Every structure is written in C-alpha cells, then in structure tokens.
Amino acid sequence: MIQKLKQLMQGKLFWIALIVLGVMLEGVAVFYQYVMEEAPCILCIHFRLLVVLLILFACLGLLLRSTKGGLIASASALLLVFIGMLERSYQLLGTELGFIKGECAATLNFPDWIAVDKWMPSFFEPWTSCSYTPKLLFNITMAEALMVFSVMMVLFAIGMLIASFRGE
C-alpha cells in the first residue's frame, strides 16, 4: 500500500487533485460568505490561509515529485499545513461547543509584511467573532466537518511522508 501511495505521489494527477481540492475548499468558503451570507471569523480566515498554503505546497509537490527529496519536502510541508488545519479546527469546534473560551480575536493582527486582510479584505478579512458555524449536510456543522477533514488529512499526510521515505 505504501508503495502504491508513493507511485501515486510521483504522478501529476495526485498533485493536481490536491490543488483542485484546495481551490474547491476556498470556493466553498466564498460561497458561504457571499451567497449564504455567513460572516467569516478569525479562525475561518486562518483556515483559508492554510488552504492557500496547501495549494502552494501542492504546486511545489507537482514540480518536485520526481525526486525523493522533493517528495519528502512536499509531504513534510503538507503535514505541517494539515496539522495547522487540525489545530484551527479544534479551536473552532471548541469555541462552537463551548469547551474553549476566548480564543477568537476580532482582527488578524498580522505584521504589515503579511497583512493579507488589508491586501484582500473581501477574502481574508474577518467579519465576526467566533461562535457557531453554519450547518452543512445531515445537520453537521462546518466546524465538525473541518475537524473530521483535518484528522483525515493529517493521517493521509503521515502516510505520504512514510511513502516518500520508502524505496527509490
């Protein structure tokens, strides 16, 4: 199975699929913000930024997929992104369910050299404080869905990293 995953990682379609996944996640976020009129909170914006990193690192993986070092670097970068997503999802779910208090500020407070909320306010500016997330299918909240997604992606990225170290 690990060998099959490594073969998959060496193909273009794998990395293109990760890029498409990232674009789709951003599309869902924009849909909920502008069509469903669900205001994004600071944790939502953090998650969006991590999705941008997912897209960038998947592009890097597409370019570096033919070498063992490139696969290791790409898998490691994606694992870090997915761990970040897991942490942000946990904070969001904890805020929504009430077992975490006071984790959500009203502004990003990023330094000027990465002030994405100023550069692209329509996409990266938080509009509300964290409290609840909208319901998706089957009465599942967005926080719950992001938590499950993040856990699955961390496990997948661990498999990717193991596969990238194996064989030639």
Return the axis-axis angle of helices 42-64 and 68-97, rounded to nearest 10°: 170
The per-residue pLDDT for 79 is 97
Q: Count CB atoms within 10 A of the CB of residue 116.
A: 16
Within-domain flag for 121 = no
The per-residue pLDDT for 113 is 80
- Domain hosting residue 103, numbered range: 2-111+126-165
- The pLDDT profile of the chain, 168 residues, written as one tens digit per residue, is 778 888 889 999 999 999 999 999 999 999 999 999 998 888 899 999 999 999 999 999 999 999 999 999 999 999 999 999 999 999 999 988 888 876 676 666 777 788 787 788 888 888 787 778 888 889 999 999 999 999 999 999 999 999 998 865
The per-residue pLDDT for 88 is 93
Within-domain flag for 12 = yes
Q: What is the pTM of this model?
A: 0.90
Cα distance between residue 113 and residue 47, in whole Å:
19
Of 166, 149, 154, 152, nearest in space to 5 by CA: 166
Within-domain flag for 135 = yes
CATH of the domain at 16: 1.20.1550
Within-domain flag for 153 = yes
The per-residue pLDDT for 167 is 60
Total count of domains within the chain: 1
Within-domain flag for 75 = yes
The per-residue pLDDT for 112 is 77
The per-residue pLDDT for 5 is 84
In this structure, are residues 51 and 22 in contact, taking their beta carbons and an 8 Å threshold?
A: yes
The per-residue pLDDT for 105 is 65
The per-residue pLDDT for 102 is 66
The per-residue pLDDT for 137 is 86
Within-domain flag for 120 = no
Within-domain flag for 40 = yes
- Quote the distance between the C-alpha of residue 140 and its chain's center: 19
Cα distance between residue 73 and residue 87, in whole Å:
21
DSSP state of 101: -
Within-domain flag for 19 = yes
pLDDT per residue over 43-84, tens digit each? 899 999 999 999 999 999 999 999 999 999 999 999 999 999
